[in-house]
Structure 1
Amino acid sequence: MSAPEASTPPKPKGKKLIIIIAAVLLVVAGGAGWFMFGRHAAEEGDEAPVAHSSKPKAPPVFLPVDNMVVNLADPGGDRYAQIGVTIEVVDLKTSDQVKAYMPSVRSAILMLVSQRTSEELLSKDGKAKLSRDILREISHPLGYTVEDDEDDHADDKPKAKSQRRAKAGPPNPINNVLFTSFIVQ
């Protein structure tokens, strides 16, 4: 009778051993899966901030242009504008490039303003258009083109924008044209 008693105890121990091994394998497999997928998700989440924080954005450089007094295109020629402009560029190198063309820049600004009437310049849209036109004129000597949005027809705008993206080269280093003084008399 000792033989049947000896053979019964090993069977439950064998089942327990198999269950323990299976449980340990499940825990290990679950932990490995969590480690791999959790790590992969954490890496994806960390990639975007690292890309932005790896190169800190430098503050723009502001290049003031001396104030200018310009006769306007009003009938009678008795109206004029005094305009102060500051050019916002991405870095000092671009600032130096614009300074090298400063006589051309000032001339272009004077020509653009002298073609406007006081009514145009007193409106917000008129000032915004003048700013875009000045940006286009300043960008030209540096080899950049700025498209005038108003030249596009309403039906052609999606096509024109996609064509601009296809032709896109390096971004224009001139960020903005700011008015620091604007008096129309």
Structure 2
Amino acid sequence: MLKWILLLVLLLVLGGGGYFAYTKFIAGKKDTSAQEENATQAQEQAAPSGDSQVVSLQPFLVNLADPLGRRYLKLTLDVEVNSKDATEQLTKNEPKVRDALIMLLSSKTFSDLSSMESKILLKKEIVERLNLVLGGPKVEQVYFTEMVIQ
């Protein structure tokens, strides 16, 4: 009888451990990939307006705000603006735009940029900064065309 009780307890412990491992390691990764897919679909659904234009900016190369200062970020991006006037204003204020973005990017750490959610948040922050520089809601979307963190 004692043998059956020990076997049942061992079976329950192994089953509980298997369930814990599944929920902690396997099911958690599926949730993260589902969130990334939802974020990608939300970006695709944001349809550009008819007058929008895309402006390419020169690459940004900044040191990240890590304690040892050994990491850097190279970022190339395209900016979608809502009118031709906004395009002209963006090119005319390019030094202000570059300064605002360099200050934003150099304040980030490697951990701030490592996840997909943080990259989407960075896009939103860049749009906000550009709209502040341009003086109104003229920037609709920012597209990363190259992003290297080393």
User: What is residue 95 of structure 2 aligned with on the other side?
Assistant: 103
Which one-letter code corresponds to 2:72 in the other structure? Y
1: CA distance, partners of 2:76 / 2:140: 17
Residue type matched to 1:110 in 2? I
Deviations 1:23-56 (A, max 9, x none): xxxxxxxxxxxxxxxxxxxxxxxxxxxxxxxxxx
Aligned length: 102
Partner of 2:146: 181
Alpha carbons 1:112, 1:130 under 8 Å: kept: no
- State the SS of the aligned residue for 2:90: helix
Residue by residue over 1:82-115, the C-alpha shift from the partner in whole angstroms, topping out at 9 and shown as x without a partner, is 0001110122211001111111111111111111
Match of 1:84 in 2: 76
Structure 2 unaligned blocks of 5 or more = 1-48
Contact 1:64 1:85 (8 Å CA) reproduced: yes
SS at match of 2:59: strand
CA distance in 1 between counterparts of 2:65 and 2:134 reads 29
Partner residue in 2 for 1:126:
118
**CA deviation string 1:42-75 (max 9, x = no partner):** xxxxxxxxxxxxxxx5252101110111100112
Q: Which residue of 2 aligns with 1:65?
A: 57
Task: Normalising by structure 2, report the TM-score.
Answer: 0.64
Cα offset, 1:139, TM superposition: 0.6
SS of residue in 1 equivalent to 2:50: coil
Provide the TM-score with structure 1 as the length reference: 0.52
C-alpha deviation, 1:177, in angstroms:
1.2
CA-atom RMSD, angstroms? Answer: 1.3
